[in-house]
Amino acid sequence: MQTLSQLQSGELFGTTHLKLSESLTTFPLEILSLADSLEVLDLSNNLLTSLPDELETFSKLKIVFASNNLFDTLPSVLGRCPNLEMVGFKANNIKHVPAESLPKRLRWLILTDNQISLLPDSLGERPRLQKLALAGNRLTALPSTIENLHNLELVRISANQLTECPDSLLSLPKLAWLAFAGNPFCQSDINIQSVPKIKATSFTLQETLGQGASGVISKAIWNQAQATLPQEIAVKVFKGQVTSDGYPEDELQACLKVGNHPNLVQSLAQVHEENYLALIMNLIPAHYKNLGLPPCLDSCTRDTFEPDFTLPIEKIEKIVTQMEDVFEHLHSNQVCHGDLYAHNTLVDEAGNIIFGDFGAATMYHMLSSQQQNKVKAIEQRALKHFIDDLLNICAKQDVNTKQYKVLREKT
């Protein structure tokens, strides 16, 4: 994080990455002095409502993030930035997305948690688009031109007002990660009570184990011993009304609909009180570690891994076999995970996995059989990418083995 005073003093002249968060109400004109060098501009967490027209002169600018500001319109100048690829305006007050506001080279568009009811047809005229996040808006339909987005791989349209299943979206050839819960077309009257409801006062949260878009997971202890539940537990307390993947209530119901599986985090109980929603789960043993890391700006939709991290083919084969079984279990229960990735997978030294994070999960039993088949096919692509990512970190001495070749055929 840099400071406005550094910028004003000239200390940041020639910088390629600029991140300012100082409750700014106007765009600092000193940023214009970086027109020849700036590649990444992050003005998130300010009070901005507009960007200057001069931004179109930034010839090297590839990324603009301005989440948590006060924009009510996506600035049109973004569409005139010649090399802009990534645009993130999450959690503003955006109601309008002008046709000309979308850059020609757009690859990544994040407009989560705004007030958008209509998107321009120009969205379907951005053939490089790979990642599209629109959860938590007021969309009643998607542009018909979306059928032209043949490179689109990840889509989040949960928590909108879509009245019909977007069949053109389901037919896209590269779509692999899809979340659509919390729309009228996929409403369900299912209220799964497969685990008991308990009070939030039944336990005390301890150290944080991790957190994602939808909630914070903590270790917890019971305030009174529970005869039917394990003594060691983890609790996921869901955040606010909407997340980057949708509504917490939809995530909870999807978790419960899936039920138990040896390679899934087991749900034990739930808390469903006013302003407090939580899922109590088995505590995962400490020796399990994340298999992968989330996508980066360069990889966009594909997982990353620690530098020089490799796996022997025997362990990859074991991991894949387990994930394939998880995949079949999910879809036999008509639940699409929506985020089938190595970074949502925990693994131990023996190659045993535990798969979790249902933030993007969607129940799809209410769709037609043809639509259900398409949803499953979409997640099948994610499974293929999962296998491909693991084979790309396979130990060099194993890449010519029969096991490797058999797995490669699955991708």
Residue ranges of the annotated binding site are: 236
With tokens 């990859």, the residue in question is: 316
Chain position carrying tokens 């138990």:
260
Which of these, 67, 109, 117, lies nearest to 86 by C-alpha position?
Answer: 109
- CA-CA-CA-CA dihedral for 363, 365, 371, 376, to nearest 10: 60
Angle between helices 313-332 and 369-391 (to 10 degrees): 170
User: Is the CB of residue 192 less than 8 Å from the CB of residue 257?
Assistant: yes
CA-wise closest residue to 219 among 281, 261, 272 = 281
CA distances, 238 to each of 72, 214, 268 (Å): 28, 6, 16
Are 370 and 225 in contact by the 8 Å Cβ rule? The answer is no
Cα radius of gyration (the chain): 22
Q: Which helix (H) or strand (E) holds 389?
A: helix 369-391
Q: Which residues are annotated as a binding site for ATP?
A: 236
Contacts of 137 (CB under 8 A, 6+ apart): 111, 112, 113, 114, 115, 116, 117, 159, 160
Closest by CA to 66, choosing from 12, 2, 109, 7, is 109
Three-class SS state of 281 = strand
* Burial class (CB within 10 angstroms; exposed 0-12, middle 13-18, buried 19+) of 376: middle
The CA distances from residue 191 to 187, 188, 254, 265, 358, in Å, are: 11, 8, 10, 20, 17
